Amino acid sequence: MLGQVKEKNIYLQLNDFLIYLKDVKKSSNNTVQAYERDLNRFSDFARNNSISSFCDVKPSIIAAYKKHISGLGMSSSSVSRSLSALRSIFQFLITSGVMDHNPAREIPNDKNQKKGPQVLTPKEIEILLSQPSTEDVKGVRDKAMLELLYATGIKVSELINLDIEDVNIQLSFIRCSGNNKERFIPIYPLAVKSITNYIEKSRKLLVFKSEEPALFVNISGNRMTRQGFWKILKAYAESAKIKKDITPHTLRHSFAAHLLENGADIHDIQEILGHSDISSTQRYAQFLKNKMKNSYMKFHPRA
Query: Domains of the chain (ranges plus CATH)?
Result: 2-106 (1.10.150.130), 122-298 (1.10.443.10)
Length of the chain: 303
- Res 5 pLDDT > 80: no
Q: Is 289 left (phi over 0), alpha (psi -120 to 50) or beta?
A: alpha
Give the whole-angstrom CA distance, residue 269 versus residue 262. 12
Residue type, 46: A
First to last CA, the chain: 69
Q: Report the predicted TM-score, pTM, of the whole model to 2 decimal places.
A: 0.60
| pLDDT tens-digit readout, 249-267 | 889 888 888 888 888 888 8
- Res 113 pLDDT > 70: no
Determine the pLDDT at residue 301: 54
Per-range mean pLDDT, top range of 9-23, 99-113, 276-290: 9-23
What percentage of the chain carries pLDDT values higher than 90? 58
Give the whole-angstrom CA distance, residue 207 versus residue 213. 10
Determine the pLDDT at residue 170: 94
Give the whole-angstrom CA distance, residue 202 versus residue 196. 10
Distance of alpha carbon 270 from the chain centroid? 17
- Res 179 pLDDT > 80: no
Neighbouring C-alpha atoms within 13 Å toward the C-beta of 58 = 5
Contact 219, 206 (CB under 8 A): yes
Give the whole-angstrom CA distance, residue 191 versus residue 151. 7
Which range among 11-20, 87-96, 134-143, 277-286 shows the weakest confidence by mean pLDDT? 277-286
Q: What is the DSSP letter of 211?
A: T
User: Could you tell me which of 13, 1, 26 has the C-alpha nearest to residue 179?
Assistant: 26
Contact 90, 205 (CB under 8 A): no
Determine the pLDDT at residue 115: 56
Give the whole-angstrom CA distance, residue 247 versus residue 229. 10
User: Could you tell me which of 44, 58, 57, 52 has the C-alpha nearest to residue 8?
Assistant: 52
Distances (CA, A) of 50 to 14, 40, 44, 100, 211: 17, 15, 10, 22, 54
What phi and psi values does residue 181 have, to the nearest 5 degrees?
A: -125, 155
For residue 262, give the H/E element and its range.
none
